Structure 1
Amino acid sequence: MTDAELLELARRVGQEAAAYVRSARPDGRVDVASTKSSATDVVTEIDEACERLIRERIFAARPGDGFVGEEGDDVAGSTGVDWVVDPIDGTVNFVYGIPAYAVSIAARRGGEVVAGYVVNIAAGTEWGAVAGEGSWRYEPDGRRMLTAPAVETLAHALVATGFNYVPEVRAKQAAAMAAFIPQVRDIRRIGSAAIDLCALAEGQFDAYVEQGLKPWDLAAGGLVASEAGIVLSGLDGPPGERLVMAAHPSVATEYFELVRACGF
């Protein structure tokens, strides 16, 4: 498969997974099946069933590929392609019924993300990207290509962020944010990194910062953002679990310096 064909597979599977989650979600709050990094970092049975569905569909189409998912064991592949999947990115939103939670599916070839698909399950909004070919939002009449707008000044930047579920880590992040927030327009904490990064690509945010992202949080949304012209970085290298910061090139250097100076 070409990278574009990998994306089409991700979209077909992602649409089915999103439809499953919508149909399986009961009214009211969703029961928590287990927790991960802390008592507030939750997993539901629907998360786990959704990941099983995605895994089954991908392996049916490409049985030799690898798989890295949030809720299950990794599978090593033999084709050089592996899939990085978050079945419900924004599980706490899902539990409470806040309509910002997503299926996120990315394909990596030789360790590099080459295709990414994100769908906001509740709203039905879809984004896609192919490395070197741009990113877009899917519309009823086709694709709308994304080009992130320039930022006027860092002081006027609206910044998306999130916080770790481990209390000790969260306390340090709060201290860094206290130094950070007076120097930008404001922050938004939506609760889904994948949706945040796609919204950044669309221009709904000017910049982004978060610590603690796993590969499945970052892979698809990060490609959508970078293919729209956003610069992504880590603290002293590539973006990763230690730190992800992202901004338009017009303010990226200044913004990254600010994030570091505030102690993230």
Structure 2
Amino acid sequence: MTNPTPAELRTIASEIAREAGALAARRRAEGVEIAASKSSPVDIVTHTDREVEALIRRRLEELRPGDGFLGEESSAGGPSPSATGLTWVVDPIDGTVNFVYGHPTYTVSIAVVEGDPDPLTWRALASCVYNPSTGEEFAAARGEGATLTLHHAAPGAGAGPHPLHPSSPPDLSQSLLATGFSYDQARRAEQGALVGPLVSRVRDIRRIGTASLDLCYVAAGRLDAYVERGLQPWDLAGGVLVAEEAGAVVLTPEGAQASSALSFVAAPSIAVELGEALREIGW
């Protein structure tokens, strides 16, 4: 059986992400209960994370039997094997802390990659990052660009899909950056120490708490760059393809793919200057 095109895979990702997002939003309205902590007391998981991932996995098994699966909440057992060469990489709720506190900045992130589910070697084909709170759907298919569709828009309000393009700040000093922090307390302290020297070189720094949104916001020009260490495959799979297809720079200053070592995405006009600043700071 021939694998579907990237555009067809994007349609699958988008449909399931919206369905999963609707479930997450219902559970948020009903009240959220923390199920457990994972790597540290601040690294939490809710019953909804697990329920949403189970829904996504079930729907993918119906539509794409034989594909592999790597989800955050089932990642301890490793990815399920793929008979097709494709693996779905899923974060059922990216920004769980935001979700728990009722901040409208959490997403369902679904991507499908070709090859082993390793950010350093995979080839992402399609993805969708969906924010249930705003109805914003960021989606991409390899070679076909990235788009934003607003599902909560009033009739005639320009729901989309609209093509995404990064910003073009004239220099780093006029740039809005985003970053994030590890769940490990010692590592958080190190990261915090590096933010001080960086904030003096830019317009300002944001810490949204949802990596997939940070990546998509660079694609949409709402941020000029995003850098973070320690991201997991499910944190970056969906948003990196959106940023790449929108035209942002997604290679690290050393030319490496985004990975746990360093995720770097920037508007082309400041990518070189930002890379030089990060090297000088010791990021």
TM-score (norm. length: structure 2)? 0.90
User: Helix, strand or coil for the counterpart of 1:142?
Assistant: coil
Of 73, 82, 89, the residue aligned with 1:84 is 89
Q: CA deviation at 1:181?
A: 0.8
1:41 is the counterpart of 2:43? yes
Residue 135 (structure 1) aligned with residue 153 (structure 2): no
Find the counterpart in structure 1 of residue 110 from structure 2: 105
Residue of 59, 62, 68 corresponding to 1:60 = 62
Q: Distance in 1 between matches of 2:7 and 2:199?
A: 39
Aligned partners of 2:67 and 2:83 also within 8 Å: yes
* Residue identity in the other structure for 2:137: E
- Alpha-carbon distance change, 122 to 214 in structure 1, aligned in 2, over 3 angstroms: same
For 2:257, the aligned partner's letter is: P
1:17 matches 2:36: no
**CA deviation map 1:148-207 (0-9, x unaligned):** 121111011100111111101001101111111111111011110101111111111111
Distance 2:58 2:252 in 1: 33
* Superposition deviation, residue 260 in structure 1: 2.4
Q: Give the deviation of 1:251 after TM superposition.
A: 1.3
Confirm or deny: 8 A CA contact 1:177 1:262 kept in the other structure. no
Q: Which runs of 4+ in 1 moved over 6 A?
A: none
How far off is 1:141 after superposition? 4.7
Identity across the alignment (%): 46
Alignment deviations for residues 23-50 of structure 1 (CA, whole Å, 9 cap, x no partner) = 122456x221111221101000100010
Residue 247 in structure 1 maps to residue 266 in structure 2 = yes
Please say if 1:124 is aligned against 2:124: no
Q: Distance in 2 between matches of 1:91 and 1:46?
A: 10
Tell me which residue corresponds to 2:230.
Answer: 212
Seen in structure 2, the aligned counterparts of structure 1 residues 211 and 235 have a Cα distance that, compared at 3 Å, is: farther
Mapped partners of 2:141, 2:169: distance in 1: 25
| Structure 2, unaligned runs of 5 or more | 116-121, 151-157
- Distance in 2 of aligned mates of 1:27 and 1:16: 17
Kindly provide the amino acid, as one letter, of the partner of residue 58 in structure 2. E
1:32 corresponds to which of 27, 31, 34: 34
CA–CA distance in structure 2, aligned partners of residues 19 and 85 of structure 1: 16
Q: Counterparts of 1:159 and 1:43 in 2: how far apart (Å)?
A: 27
Query: Which of the residues 2, 6, 12 maps onto 2:5?
Result: 2
Aligned match of 1:168: 186
- 5+ residue gaps, structure 1, are none
Alignment check: 8 A CA contact 2:68 2:82 kept: yes
Instruction: Report the aligned-residue RMSD.
Output: 1.3
CA contact (8 A) 2:167 2:218 kept: no
Match of 1:205, SS state, is coil
Q: Is contact 2:148–2:164 with CA below 8 Å preserved after alignment?
A: yes
Residues 191-234 of structure 1: CA deviation (Å, up to 9, x unaligned) = 10101111111111111111111111101111111111111134
Q: Which amino acid aligns with 2:260?
A: E
Residue 63 of structure 1, CA deviation: 1.0
* Match status 1:202 vs 2:220: yes
